[in-house]
Amino acid sequence: MKKMSMKLSALGAMLMMAGTAFAGNNTATVTQGSLSTFDYANVYQSGLGWHDATVYQNGFGNDAYITQFGFANNADIVQDSSWGNGIATGNSAAILQGFWASFDDATIHQHGGWGNSAEINQYAGNYFWNEVASIEQVKGANSDAVINQYGLDEDATITQKDQYGSDATINQRGFNQTASIEQLGMMTWFGPGPGFGNSATINQNFWATNAQADVFQAGSWNTATVDQYAPNDVAHVTQRGNGNTATVNQYGANNVATVTQNGNGGTAIVTQY
């Protein structure tokens, strides 16, 4: 009888493990509102995929994390404040999508405040593809945004609007990657104004063939760097005046680089190896 009980326990454990491995189509929603402060949210979804996860935090000093495994997952983190643009300060958001990661979508939106950080990591590997990552940071300063992608046919976008002193970085490894960074600076009645020290970096390396990188910066003292380490890559950098610096390094054949600077002491360096 004891042996039978042990066998049943082992079978139950195996079934639980199998259920976890093949789990899918789950939905998780976390809402922390009414000026939440120093709150913590962590969503973990494993299995085959087709998961949806959403975290909403309203306030400052909050942390949000979403981890998903499998195919066709969607992850969304929103951090803002209903008490004014300067309140949503010191927030941190991170999304990880990996292991069989194909057709995933990840979005982080941070609205208002200073010193916010956002990071998206999508690790599809050599045989999986078609992931989309987007980070938007609006109305603030000294924020950081990072997207890391490893796979095929992936797309990354970082938009920092009404921001100054902020950094945006996209790192991609694999074929047919697309990366876009848009830093619009402080918004005025006449459109995007000075960006005051924003920095944009795009690295497309290790088999990043047929990659495209686009950087647009409006404002003052901005810096843009694009590194591409494969053939058939395209890089476009556009900077609207006031002491901007653009650096493009391309390694390989059939690459194209375009730098456009509209006035006021800009520096452009393009090196093609």
Q: What one-character DSSP code corresponds to residue 86?
A: T
Report how far apart, in Å, the C-alpha atoms of 185 and of each of 116, 165, 225, 243 are.
Answer: 16, 9, 18, 14
Average pLDDT, rounded, for the chain: 85
* Count of domains observed in the chain: 1
pLDDT (tens digit, 9 = 90+) per residue, 211-236?
Answer: 999 999 987 788 999 999 999 999 99
Q: What one-character DSSP code corresponds to residue 114?
A: B
**pTM of the entire structure?**
0.88
Q: CA 126, CA 147: separation in Å to the nearest integer?
A: 18
pLDDT (tens digit, 9 = 90+) per residue, 96-107?
Answer: 998 777 899 999
In 59-171, which residue ranges form alpha helices assigned H by DSSP? none
Cβ neighbour number for residue 1 with a 10 Å cutoff: 5
For residue 236 the two structure tokens come to 């476009």
Boundaries of domain holding 8: 2-272
Report how far apart, in Å, the C-alpha atoms of 60 and of each of 9, 78, 194, 205, 235 are.
Answer: 46, 12, 26, 36, 37
